[in-house]
Structure 1
Amino acid sequence: VIAKLQFELLFSKVCRMVRRRELQPARRSKPLYYVLIASQLSSCFDGMFQLFRRLSQWRLAQLAAVWSLKHALKYRRNASVLVEAFASMFQIAFHMGFSDNITWMQERSLEIIADNVDLINMDYMKAVVKYYTALIMCQTIRSTKLLSIELGRVVLKITDTLQCKTSEWHIIPVLAELLMSHRKISDAVSMLRDFQSLTDRYQDTSAKAWYFSIAMDIMLDTSCCVETYKDCESFFLKNCEALGYQRDAYVVTRLFANLWLWCVRNGAWETADTWMNKLQEVFVLTPHDSMINVHTALRLLEGLVLTLVNKIEARSILAIVRLQNEIERLCDNIEDALAISRSHEAKFKLCKIYYKKVVDGRYNAIGKLRKLRKLALARKDLLCAEKTLHTIQYWRCELPPKLESFWLDHCSSVINESEVDGSEPLDRFTPSRYDYTSCVLNAERIYPFSLPLPRARYF
């Protein structure tokens, strides 16, 4: 409570300082060492912000961030410190849910930073990368996706030009998701290939894990195969020890969730259980969580509903009850995590409609899906709108047989298991991969996975 009150008082002072376009001189000129100490204090508070952020002590983190910005704004002596302070402030604003209320500060910060550039060096450019990344997160809440995409490209260009290694790669999955939501498949793949060149240069295991995770994201959502399941599995087997020590839990959970969902969709249940055991060890979804982790949770939700369909057809009553409880708990957690950013709301509603239709065959899912498609189009989530339309047509039996099974036929060609769910080997009936070249030649058409309903109900 005390930290919250202190933050509110300091934040009001900081807002007044930001509104001043020019730095007002003090009544008495301060010695240079006093100005330098203020700049160092800002850096110290920014370090405290990073520490509290890692410890998930968000109230203390936002207090440290506002102290850092206050000292940085007081004399604006060090441009790098000023940019870092603004970046930390916008990061915590995004996480705590008030970034939409300080849009004016985000715009004014660009002017202040431009007015206070004294020396452009490597530290300054790294701070700019962090600053733009924070702005991208804030813009996604406002659904200004095109602006976020442009900012993301600027960050990648700076990183590539300076050949500097960033401490976090979280901008990559966010940018890929924004491009995919606008159905810019070629842009997403081009960005991913540029990112691959960065990973080869830095030999960073975390970066490579993000590369394979995003490649699987593209395949799971569109059928476009940049990297196969076998490639991603081989990467994990070669780097499992290094991934076990990763400080970035988001990338490990996304990789496990995507590999698990691929196996669930293909009915490779034994392999899926292996990935699920690994996923349960590392995945945690908290209120107001990152949009990266919410995306991973939606993968988990889809896979659990698909597993429920399998258990319903197998008449496994205990498993059905257990899965229903698990799905409902996960839905509650996702709703808490979406309390700030509604960028995944349409995808979440699609999963919930699917779950309700699986549980209750009389549920009016088609009407709900039509309303959901209008919502997705209004929010410029073209990928979700396409998935929703595909689901409507599939459940109404309006799709040609080839389109119903397109994802399974073209994304299941490279698993070494001799049998999947008791059927013939996959390589025997899979025609070919729908690779990036095929996607471009086909006008970047996407083929979503067809969400199956239980063929028989016993409850």
Structure 2
Amino acid sequence: MESLEFGLSVMSIMTTLTDLPTRQILVLWILKLLLTEMRLQQMVAIMREFLFHTDHYDLSSETWYYYYAIVILLDTGYSVEPYRTCEKFYIKKGETILRTKTPEAPWNFFVCMWLVTIRTGAWERCVVWEERIKKLQTAKIEKHEYKIMILVRLAEGFLIMLVREIDNRNIKKIQRLHSTLKYLFKDMNKCCKHVPIFKPRVLLLSAYYYFIKGDKIRAYNSLNKASEWSKIYSHGTLLIWIEHTRDHWRGTLNPKLEHYWAEHIEADNVLDYRDFDLEKGKQIVPYTLPLPNDLLQKF
């Protein structure tokens, strides 16, 4: 990807850049592109140099560091910092996180921390983040790139919650979640016009939503579009997740891989990012998006 290689070539210049917002935006975009190509080692090196061990320290930079540590966990299953370490960062800094120069940093961090609890079914731990998520839904975030980063994580979390409530036959919560998701998808589609690199992820989430509702034709159509757009943007991590999802829907996914992501979250069983080597055939095993029990019984 030419834009990524150009970005990497100017990294040395950025060490002298004191304009924090500009510096952060450039670093975050390079990290985003590195993640699409699964270049985790380079990604972490940049995170630590420009966001963590930096001469221009700012709490927002440190918050972005922990945000990306969680993003790598969410998107690849590999750990840079254990979830509990990220949790301790939040406990230590408390409300001061919200007073950083770039408020988008804590909001993105909060939603990713919340999503991990949703994915793992840690509903009691999820309560810790609920108030933040409620505020986040009404927060005004002007920059499209920051807004879509939040929206895609929110939508995934609410879709997983929808599956849970369908299984519980909780009609009121199901209706409330459908209403929330309708708004989120409308907002995500608007943002994608300005930040099209997120289009394949939104299409994957849309496919998942259709499948939950039992509309398999639209689900597979959206999944195929997600795959096409992922190829356009060379989004390797997302392509793997799309094919993993397709295998799950077809009932051809290796049973050992269905809960693989969730089984490697706890500190005593994490996958260390330093062990990931694409050239040696190492692969990521993405999270398996859950389906309602009634749908699973039809497989």
Answer yes or no: same fold by TM over 0.5. yes
Q: Kindly provide the CA deviation profile for residues 141-180 of structure 1, in whole angstroms up to 9, marking residues without a partner as x.
A: xxxxx333234334531232x3x54322222222111111
Quick check: 1:175 aligned with 2:30? Answer: yes
Q: Which letter maps to 2:20?
A: S
Which among 43, 54, 59 is matched to residue 188 of structure 1? 43
Match of 1:446 in 2: 284
Match of 2:208 in 1: 354
Quick check: 1:253 aligned with 2:107? Answer: yes
Match of 1:242 in 2: 96
Q: Which letter maps to 1:407?
A: W
Instruction: Give the direction of change, closer, same or farther, for the CA distance of 1:282–1:374 in structure 2 (3 Å limit).
Output: closer
Quick check: 1:147 aligned with 2:11? Answer: no
Instruction: Give the direction of change, closer, same or farther, for the CA distance of 1:407–1:212 in structure 2 (3 Å limit).
Output: same
The answer on whether the counterparts of 1:186 and 1:444 sit within 8 Å (CA) in structure 2 is no
Match of 1:266 in 2: 120
Match of 2:78 in 1: 224
Q: Which letter maps to 2:169?
A: R
Q: How does 1:76-155 map to 2 (within 5 A)?
A: 146-155=1-10
The answer on whether the counterparts of 1:287 and 1:337 sit within 8 Å (CA) in structure 2 is no
Q: Secondary structure at the match of 1:343?
A: helix
The answer on whether the counterparts of 2:203 and 2:222 sit within 8 Å (CA) in structure 1 is no
Q: Secondary structure at the match of 1:451?
A: coil
Match of 1:370 in 2: 224
Q: Kindly provide the CA deviation profile for residues 286-335 of structure 1, in whole angstroms up to 9, marking residues without a partner as x.
A: 79842232122101110010010011111110000000000000111111
Which among 9, 19, 22 is matched to residue 166 of structure 1? 19
Structure 2 distance, partners of 1:322, 1:282, is: 17
Q: Secondary structure at the match of 1:456?
A: helix
Structure 2 distance, partners of 1:210, 1:403, is: 30
Quick check: 1:307 aligned with 2:149? Answer: no
Structure 1 distance, partners of 2:43, 2:101, is: 26
Structure 2 distance, partners of 1:399, 1:365, is: 18
Which among 271, 274, 288 is matched to residue 437 of structure 1? 274
Q: Which letter maps to 2:288?
A: S
Structure 2 distance, partners of 1:384, 1:197, is: 27
Which among 317, 341, 360 is matched to residue 171 of structure 2? 317
Structure 2 distance, partners of 1:247, 1:288, is: 15
The answer on whether the counterparts of 2:18 and 2:56 sit within 8 Å (CA) in structure 1 is yes
Q: Kindly provide the CA deviation profile for residues 46-72 of structure 1, in whole angstroms up to 9, marking residues without a partner as x.
A: xxxxxxxxxxxxxxxxxxxxxxxxxxx
Quick check: 1:399 aligned with 2:253? Answer: yes
Q: CA deviation at 1:285?
A: 7.2
Q: Which letter maps to 1:191?
A: I
Q: Kindly provide the CA deviation profile for residues 380-408 of structure 1, in whole angstroms up to 9, marking residues without a partner as x.
A: 22222111111001121222222111101
The answer on whether the counterparts of 1:285 and 1:337 sit within 8 Å (CA) in structure 2 is no
Provide the TM-score with structure 1 as the length reference.
0.59
Q: Which letter maps to 2:170?
A: S
Instruction: Give the direction of change, closer, same or farther, for the CA distance of 1:376–1:228 in structure 2 (3 Å limit).
Output: same
The answer on whether the counterparts of 2:207 and 2:218 sit within 8 Å (CA) in structure 1 is no
Rg (Cα) greater in structure:
1
Q: CA deviation at 1:244?
A: 2.5
Q: Secondary structure at the match of 1:257?
A: helix
How many pairs does the alignment contain?
292
**Displacement over 6 Å in runs of 4+:** 285-288
Structure 2 distance, partners of 1:362, 1:149, is: 36
Match of 1:48 in 2: none
The answer on whether the counterparts of 1:288 and 1:338 sit within 8 Å (CA) in structure 2 is no
Structure 2 distance, partners of 1:335, 1:373, is: 17
Structure 2 distance, partners of 1:288, 1:206, is: 17
Which ranges of structure 2 fall in alignment gaps of 5 or more residues?
A: none
Q: CA deviation at 1:282?
A: 4.1
Structure 2 distance, partners of 1:239, 1:288, is: 25
Q: CA deviation at 1:243?
A: 0.7
Quick check: 1:409 aligned with 2:263? Answer: yes
The answer on whether the counterparts of 1:180 and 1:188 sit within 8 Å (CA) in structure 2 is yes
Instruction: Give the direction of change, closer, same or farther, for the CA distance of 1:395–1:223 in structure 2 (3 Å limit).
Output: same
Structure 2 distance, partners of 1:242, 1:288, is: 21
Q: CA deviation at 1:258?
A: 0.5
The answer on whether the counterparts of 1:294 and 1:337 sit within 8 Å (CA) in structure 2 is yes
Q: Which letter maps to 1:452?
A: P
The answer on whether the counterparts of 2:145 and 2:195 sit within 8 Å (CA) in structure 1 is yes
Structure 1 vs Structure 2 CA RMSD: 2.3
Which among 234, 241, 244 is matched to residue 380 of structure 1? 234
Provide the TM-score with structure 2 as the length reference.
0.89
Q: Which letter maps to 1:451?
A: L
The answer on whether the counterparts of 1:256 and 1:276 sit within 8 Å (CA) in structure 2 is no
